[in-house]
Structure 1
Amino acid sequence: MKLFLCEKPSQARDIAKVLGASQKGDGCLRGHGTVVTWGFGHLLEQAPPDAYDPAFKRWALDTLPILPTSWKLEVKKSGRKQFGTIRKLLREASEVVVATDADREGETIAREILEYCGYRGPVSRLWLSALDDASIRKALADIRPGDSTYPLYLAGLGRSRADWLVGMNLTRAYTVMAKQQGHDGVLSVGRVQTPTLRLVVDRDREIADFIPKPFWEVEALFQAKGGTFNAKWKPRVESLLDDAGRCINEAAARELVQRASDGEGRVSYLGTARKKEAPPLVMDLATLQQEASRRYGYGAQQVLDVAQSLYETHKATTYPRTDCRYLPLSQLEEAEGVVTALLKSDPELSPLRDRLDLTRKSRVWNDSRITAHHGIIPTTSPCDLSRMGEPERNLYDLIRRHYLAQFLSPHEYDQTDVVVKLAGEDFVATGRQVRVEGWRVLFPKAAKESEESDAGGTEGESAGQALPALSQGEACPVRSLEVVTKQTTPPRPFSEGTLIAAMKHAARFVTDERLKARLKETAGIGTEATRAGIIETLLKRGFLRKQKRALVSTPTARQLIDALPATVTDPGMTALWEQALDEIATGHLGLDEFMARQTALIDKLVKHAAGVTMSLPQQQPAQKCPDCGAPMRKRKGRNGPFLGCSRYPECMGIVNLGKQRGKAKGAGSQGRRSKGSVANG
C-alpha cells in the first residue's frame, strides 16, 4: 500500500481527489491501493525540560544550561488520535510519499513522524507549487526521490532545537534574574523574536532621540516663452550643505533671494532622455505583506492567512510561503492557460487581452533566481470571485496584476532636466512626459506613498512637473523667488509591512563590518512562513503594541533588550544562524556541527545572564509569605486565583485571595505553569 502523508486535511482531500482515493476511512482516504492521510501541522513537539529531568520543573539558575544530548519529542494532546491513525497506517505501508508543504517546515512535519514511528521503508517526495488539479497531476508525474529533500528535514531539526535551546535557557535565566530584582512575570527570549524586537526598540529610540534641524530651500518661479515652471536652488559651496546636500546657511539663502529677485535666469543646460521602467516582479510573501500593509493596513499574519486561503480553499494562486519573486522559463508555456482562467474568472479583464503579449520575456523569467518555490501567481484554474471576502479579492487582485504586468510593454517616458543660471547660481527642474503607458495601465494610482521603504513600492515615483517648451540659452525672467524653511524629520515607526521588510533584509541594519562581510546582502531573520507569527508573538507577550498602523516597543521590551548581550539581540547574528540553516538544507553543513556551535554559545550566554543587573519597570511590593517571609506571586488554580510562595516547592505557603490562608492546596499550579512557560521562536 502506498501512503501519501499530507500536512493538513484540505491538502489531503485535494490530492486524494486526483488520485481517485474517494473512500473515507478513519483519518484517511482510500482508493486503488493508495491511502492519503494527514496531520494538523506539527503533530509532534519538542519535549519540555522536565521530560529530561524532573529537577528542571523548577526555574533556577543552578539548573541551567539545559543541554539535551538525545532529543525527545512528544505527541501533542490535540493530535493523539490522528497520530495513532498515522502510526497504524505506517505499519501497513510499503511506500510513503511525503506530500506536506514543499518547504523546510513541511519536510520536518512529515519526517519527524516517520522517525518517531520508526518507519524504514522507501520514501519519495511530492513537490507541489499549487493545489489545483492540473498542478497536482503535474507534480504526481514528477515525484522526487526522498533523499533529495531530506536535508530540509535536518535544517528543520536544527531550527527547532536551536529555538528550544535559546527559548528554554535564556527565558528561564532572565526571568529568574528579573524576579530576584523585583520584577514579576516571564521575560520571553527567542532566537528570532528578540532580534526582531531589537529592530523596533532601536527605531523607537532613534525617533525619541531625534533632534530636528532646520534647512532652507530657495524656490523660483521662472517665466519662459512657453509658460512658467518651478525650479530649486542647488548650492555648490560645500560649506553651505549638510551630508544630504541641504542648505544649512539661512543667511546665504536670504542673501540670494535679495540679490536675484528681480533678475533674469538663462537656460544653461537642457537635456531630454527616453527612460524605460520594467514591470515589477511577481509577488513573494514578504512583498505581498508589505504592499497589503501599505495599501489596506492589513497585518502580516492576516495577509499570510488570506494568501493561504487563496492557495488552499480557492485554488486561485500558487504556494504563498515563498521568498522568490521570479518564475522559471518553463512556466511561460502556461501563460495562455493562466490568462484564460483569469478572463473566465473576471470578464472585466477582457479589454486587456488584446494588449497582452504572452511571448514577452520580462526579467521575471529567470531560472537562476528560482529558490525552493517560484513567485506567487494565479493558477490555470478559474475561481469564483463572489466566494471571496474583500481581503481575499484585494490580495488576489495584487497577485494577478503583478503577473499580467509581465506581458505588457515597459512604461516609457521622456525625462527633461533643466539647469537655469541665475545670479551665478544653479536652479534645477525636472519634467516628465509619458510616451508609452505600458504595464502602468494596471497600476493607475502611480503616486508612491512616502512611507519609508524597506517595503519597496512597486509603482515608482510620482511624475515630475509638466515643463513648457524650452530652448538652450533661453532667457527666463524671475516671477517669484522665496526662501522656504524646512526641518529634518525622524524616521517613521515600523508598520507590520516595513518590519517584515526589515526582517527579510536584516543585513542592512548590521554595523559591524566583520559581521556584514559574512552576511549575504539578502540575509534575513526568520522565514517567509514564520515572520508574521513572530510579530504576533511579540504583540501577545506585551513587548510590542499597536498605535494605529505603527508598532512601538513597551518599556519592558526596551529594558530587556538593554539587559541581553548583542549576540542574542543583533539581527546580524540571527541572520548568520539562518544562513547556517540554509547550508544544512543544501548539504554544505552538518547538523551535528551546527548544534555543537549552539550548545557552546548557550553555555556562554547563561553564564553571562547570571551577572546581569536589570532596571525593569517596578512592580507593586510583593506580599510576604506568611510561612517563610519570601515574596508571593499571584497564581491561578482550579478554584480561582491565589498567592503562592515564590520559593515553591521548598515552601508550600499560599494565600487564597479573599479567603483564609491555607497550605499546599493549589500550590502545585506553579510547577505546571513553569512547565508551560516556553519561549519558542
Structure 2
Amino acid sequence: MKLILTEKPSVAKNIADALKIRTKKDGYFEGNGYIITWAFGHLLQLYDAKDYHPKMRTWKMENFPFIPDKFEYKIKSNIRNKQKSDSGAKKQMSTIKRLMNRKDVIGIISACDFDREGQIIGDSIIYNNQTKKPVERLLLNEWTPKEIMNGLQQLKPNEQLKPLQDAGVSRQWADWLIGINLTSVATLKYQKGKGKALNIGRVLLPTLKIIYDRDQEIAQFKSERFYRLEADFKSKSGEAYTGIYQFDKKSSFKDKELLHKWKEQIVGQAAEVVNVETSVKKEFPPFLFNLSNLQGYITSKYNGWTSDKVLKVAQSLYEKKYITYPRTSSIALDESLMRKTEDVLNKVKQGLDYEEEVRFSRSKRIFNNQKVESHSAIIPTYIVPKKLTNDEDKVYQAIKNRFIMQFMPISQYEENVIETKILIPEMLGTFLSKGRRELVKGWKKVEQIKSKEYFLPDLQKKEQVMVKSSQITEHDTEPPKPHSEKSLLNMMQTCGRKSSAVNEEEILSGFSIGTAATRADTIKKLREIGYIKIDKKSLFCTELGKKLVETFPIQSLFNLNFTGKLEKALADIEKEKVRKHDFLSFIYDFTEKSVNQIKNGEEVTIHETVQMDRKKQENLGKCPNCGHPVIEGVKGFGCSNWKQGCKFVIWKNDKYLLSMKKKPSKTMVKSLLKNGKVLVKGLTSKNGKKFNAYLSYQKNKENDYFSWSMEFMK
C-alpha cells in the first residue's frame, strides 16, 4: 500500500478517479493498493516571532533584528483568531500522520504541484511527521487520467527534488526575515498611532516603485504641439489618395508657419510619383499563454477582472483537468509533447467552421526546449468541458483559441507604399502614402480579428498627378498611460524593462519581480494595505504609497535590479548554481544592516493613524452558541466572544438571504436571537414571486457553523 499526498482535495479526487477508487473515508480515499489524502495548500506555517521567545510578544525596537537560530513550523493559524490553530488543518494533519504511520503503508508519494511552493507544501508535511519510509515524487503538468497513470509509472525519488525544496525554503525564510524585521521596525519608527502595520516586503516595494515611477512620469510630463501637412492627390484616371509630407525622415514639425506657406502654394500644382513599392508581409499569431500574459489578456479585455481572479479561475480549470498547469513562465511547449499536443488539437478543433485549416505543425515557434523552464505554456487538455461557469468559459476559450491559432495559416497582407513629389523646385521632401490589403486571414479567424485596410490606387513610377487640396493637422504629444494590471504584470515579468529589450531566455532565467504564481497576489496585497488604488483599469499610488517610496531609507528594496538578482538567485538554487546557505547568509546580513539603518536614521512620520473613539456596541441578544452578547460588526452580526473561538455570525452579505434578495437587519437579528425564529416578509423566489416565511438559524450537527432553515406560514 502506498500513500499519495496531494495539495488539494480536488486533485486527490482526480487521482482516485484515474485509479478507479470509489471508497472515500474521513480525509482520504482508499483502494487498489493506494491511500490518497490531501492538504489544503499550506497546512503548516513558519512560527511567528512571538512563538520563539516571550519578549517578541510586543514590538520593541531593541528586540530587532530578530533572526531565529532554527526556523520552526506549526499548524497554520485560524483566520479569525491568530492565537489558535485552524481546526480543519489540525484535523487533516492528524489524519495524514495516522495514515503515514500505518503498518501497511510502505511508501509515500508527494503529488503536490510541481513547483517551488508545491514542493515545500509536501515536504513540510511529510518530514515534519518524521517518517522513515521512502518518499517519491509524482511530477505532472495536468491531472487527466492518462497523465496520472503514466506519471505513477515514472516516479522520482524525492531526494532528487532537494534543489527545488532548497529554493522554496530559501524564498520562505527570506520573506519572513525581511517582512517580520523591516515591517516591525518601520512601523515603530515611521508610524504614529495604532493601526495597520507599514508592510515592507521584498516583492511589494519594487512593484510599488514601478507604479510610483509611472505616476511621476505623468505628473512631470509637458505636452508639446506639433503639426503635419497632408495633401490630397488625384490621378489622371480620377483616383484619389492622401499623402503626409516628410523631409529629412521627419513627418512632424514644430514650425506651423513654414508648413502654412507650403499649404497655400501646393494646391493645384502638378506632382509626380517618384517611388512605388509593393511587398507581402506575414503576421504570426501571438505566442501561447504563460500565466502573466493570460492575466494581462483577460484583465484588459473584460471589466472587473483582476490578475488574482484570473489565476483562481485558471487554477479551477486545471484542477478540473481542462487545462495544463497555469503557474508557468513559458510561452512554448516541450518538444517531447508533440504527439500529445497533436491529439489535443484533433479534439478541440472538432466542429469549428475553419476545422480544415487547422493543421498540426512541429514548428520551433511552438515546440522549443530552450524556451521551457519546468512547465510548458498553458494549453487545453484532451478533456473537452461540457459545462463551465461564465468566468471559466472566458478563460478557457482564451486558452483554447490561443492554442488553435498556432496551427492556423499565417496571416498575410500586402503593403503598398507610394512616394509623391510636388513639382515645385524649392520644395524639398516628398509625400508618403501607405496602403494595406489583407491577403490571408489565417489565424485571425479564430477570434474574428479585423485587419485595418487602406487601399491605394494602382499607380506607376513617374506617373503625373495633381494636388486637389491640402490641410495642416495639429497634434499634441501625449503622456504615458497609467499602469494597468496588464502593463504592470509585464513590467514585473521583465523586471521593469520593455519587452523588446528582454528575450525569453532571460525571463526564464528568473530575473524578474516575483514569479508567475505570486505576482497577482502582490498586486492584490498592495491594494489591500492601501499603497495603491485602482480607477477603472488604471493603477495609481496612494498618498501613503507615495510617501513610503520617497521616505523609506532602504532604497535597495525599491531597486528593480536588486530584486531581480534575488529572484534569479532563487531560480539558480533550483539549478544548483547557487547554494541555499550562501543566499540565506546574504539575507541575514542584509536584514541586520537594514534594521540598524532604520534605527539610526532620521526621525520622520510616513503614516499617522487616526484613533476613532469606540462607541459602546449594542447587545443584540445572547449568542446561541456560548451565551455571550451578539454585536454588530462591519461585515456581520457576530458573537463578541469570537477571539476565544466562537463561530456564531450572520454575515451582512449572507448568500442564502441574498438569493432571496434580502439582507439581515439589526431588528431581524434581535428577533431571531430572542425567539429562535423570525418572520421575514418580502422574500423573493427564483421565479420572482414575493412571499413571507419564518427563518431560523441552527447549528450544524457535523461542525461548529450555523445554517438557515425555512418554515412557511400556515
Tell me, yes or no, if the aligned pair for 1:507 and 1:520 is still in contact at 8 Å. Answer: no
Q: 1:556 aligns with which of 541, 544, 549?
A: 544
Residue in 1 aligned with 2:146?
134
AA aligned to 1:553 is: C
CA distance in 2, matches of 1:277, 1:509: 21
Mapping 1:559-570, distance limit 5 Å: 559-564=547-552, 565-570=554-559
Mapping 1:170-569, distance limit 5 Å: 170-179=182-191, 185-224=196-235, 225=237, 227-236=239-248, 246-297=252-303, 298-313=305-320, 315-343=321-349, 347=351, 349=352, 351-359=353-361, 361=363, 363-384=365-386, 387-422=387-422, 423-446=427-450, 463-508=452-497, 523-564=511-552, 565-569=554-558
Tell me, yes or no, if the aligned pair for 1:222 and 1:480 is still in contact at 8 Å. Answer: yes
Tell me, yes or no, if the aligned pair for 2:191 and 2:605 is still in contact at 8 Å. Answer: no
CA distance in 2, matches of 1:555, 1:492: 19
How far the C-alpha of 1:69 sits from its partner, in A, is 2.4
AA aligned to 1:214 is: R
CA distance in 1, matches of 2:498, 2:460: 46
1:577 matches 2:587? no
Residue in 1 aligned with 2:72?
72
CA distance in 1, matches of 2:468, 2:603: 65
Residue in 1 aligned with 2:38?
38
CA distance in 1, matches of 2:28, 2:602: 53
AA aligned to 2:222 is: I
Tell me, yes or no, if the aligned pair for 1:360 and 1:407 is still in contact at 8 Å. Answer: no
Distance 1:419 1:292, change over 3 A: same
How far the C-alpha of 1:249 sits from its partner, in A, is 2.6
Q: Cα RMSD (Å) of the superposition?
A: 2.6
How far the C-alpha of 1:266 sits from its partner, in A, is 2.0
AA aligned to 1:490 is: P
Residue in 2 aligned with 1:626?
none
The one-character-per-residue Cα deviations of 1:7-66 (angstroms, maximum 9, x if unpaired) are 000001111222233322331111133111110000111111111221112212211111
Gapped regions of structure 1 (runs ≥ 5): 447-461, 511-517, 623-632, 641-665, 670-681
Residue in 2 aligned with 1:120?
132
Distance 1:478 1:618, change over 3 A: farther
Q: Secondary structure at the match of 2:376?
A: coil
Tell me, yes or no, if the aligned pair for 1:183 and 1:616 is still in contact at 8 Å. Answer: no
CA distance in 2, matches of 1:157, 1:226: 75
Tell me, yes or no, if the aligned pair for 1:226 and 1:468 is still in contact at 8 Å. Answer: no
CA distance in 1, matches of 2:132, 2:270: 88
CA distance in 1, matches of 2:613, 2:11: 44
Tell me, yes or no, if the aligned pair for 1:413 and 1:434 is still in contact at 8 Å. Answer: yes
Q: Secondary structure at the match of 1:270?
A: strand
Question: Taking every aligned residue pair, what percent have the same amino acid on both sides?
Answer: 30
AA aligned to 2:66 is: I
Stretch deviating more after TM superposition (200-209 or 331-340): 331-340
CA distance in 2, matches of 1:83, 1:485: 69
How far the C-alpha of 1:222 sits from its partner, in A, is 1.8
Q: Secondary structure at the match of 1:274?
A: strand
CA distance in 2, matches of 1:178, 1:588: 39
AA aligned to 1:425 is: G
CA distance in 2, matches of 1:525, 1:595: 18
Tell me, yes or no, if the aligned pair for 2:65 and 2:591 is still in contact at 8 Å. Answer: yes
1:83 matches 2:84? no
Distance 1:617 1:144, change over 3 A: closer
Q: Secondary structure at the match of 2:125?
A: helix
Distance 1:420 1:509, change over 3 A: closer
CA distance in 2, matches of 1:170, 1:2: 44
How far the C-alpha of 1:639 sits from its partner, in A, is 10
The TM-score normalised by the length of structure 2 is 0.79
Tell me, yes or no, if the aligned pair for 1:52 and 1:68 is still in contact at 8 Å. Answer: yes
CA distance in 1, matches of 2:73, 2:238: 78
Q: Secondary structure at the match of 1:472?
A: coil
Residue in 2 aligned with 1:628?
none
Tell me, yes or no, if the aligned pair for 1:409 and 1:439 is still in contact at 8 Å. Answer: yes
CA distance in 2, matches of 1:531, 1:73: 25
The one-character-per-residue Cα deviations of 1:626-645 (angstroms, maximum 9, x if unpaired) are xxxxxxx87999999xxxxx
Residue in 2 aligned with 1:22?
22
Residue in 2 aligned with 1:107?
119
Stretch deviating more after TM superposition (56-65 or 317-326): 56-65
The one-character-per-residue Cα deviations of 1:533-565 (angstroms, maximum 9, x if unpaired) are 111111111112111111111100110111223
How far the C-alpha of 1:521 sits from its partner, in A, is 8.6
The one-character-per-residue Cα deviations of 1:419-442 (angstroms, maximum 9, x if unpaired) are 222332222122112222221211
Distance 1:89 1:637, change over 3 A: farther
AA aligned to 2:397 is: D
Tell me, yes or no, if the aligned pair for 1:318 and 1:376 is still in contact at 8 Å. Answer: yes
AA aligned to 2:142 is: A
Distance 1:420 1:199, change over 3 A: same
CA distance in 2, matches of 1:230, 1:523: 47
When the two structures are aligned, how many residues end up with a matched partner? 596
Distance 1:445 1:520, change over 3 A: closer
Distance 1:246 1:424, change over 3 A: closer
CA distance in 2, matches of 1:615, 1:509: 35
Residue in 1 aligned with 2:582?
593
AA aligned to 1:233 is: Y
CA distance in 2, matches of 1:579, 1:601: 17
The TM-score normalised by the length of structure 1 is 0.83
CA distance in 1, matches of 2:613, 2:127: 41
CA distance in 1, matches of 2:227, 2:22: 74
CA distance in 2, matches of 1:6, 1:637: 48
Gapped regions of structure 2 (runs ≥ 5): 77-84, 500-505, 620-640, 645-714
Q: Secondary structure at the match of 1:506?
A: coil
The one-character-per-residue Cα deviations of 1:361-406 (angstroms, maximum 9, x if unpaired) are 361111221211111111111210xx21222112111111111112
User: Which of 1 and 2 has higher RCO (CA within 8 Å, sep 6+)?
Assistant: 1
Tell me, yes or no, if the aligned pair for 1:505 and 1:521 is still in contact at 8 Å. Answer: no
Q: Secondary structure at the match of 1:407?
A: coil
Q: Secondary structure at the match of 2:347?
A: helix
Residue in 1 aligned with 2:9?
9
AA aligned to 2:383 is: S
Q: Secondary structure at the match of 2:45?
A: strand
Distance 1:521 1:156, change over 3 A: closer
AA aligned to 2:538 is: A
Q: Secondary structure at the match of 1:324?
A: coil
Q: Which has the larger radius of gyration?
A: 2
Distance 1:618 1:148, change over 3 A: closer
How far the C-alpha of 1:91 sits from its partner, in A, is 2.3
How far the C-alpha of 1:157 sits from its partner, in A, is 0.5
The one-character-per-residue Cα deviations of 1:114-164 (angstroms, maximum 9, x if unpaired) are 221222332221111111212222222322232332211111111111111
Tell me, yes or no, if the aligned pair for 2:330 and 2:508 is still in contact at 8 Å. Answer: no
AA aligned to 2:385 is: C
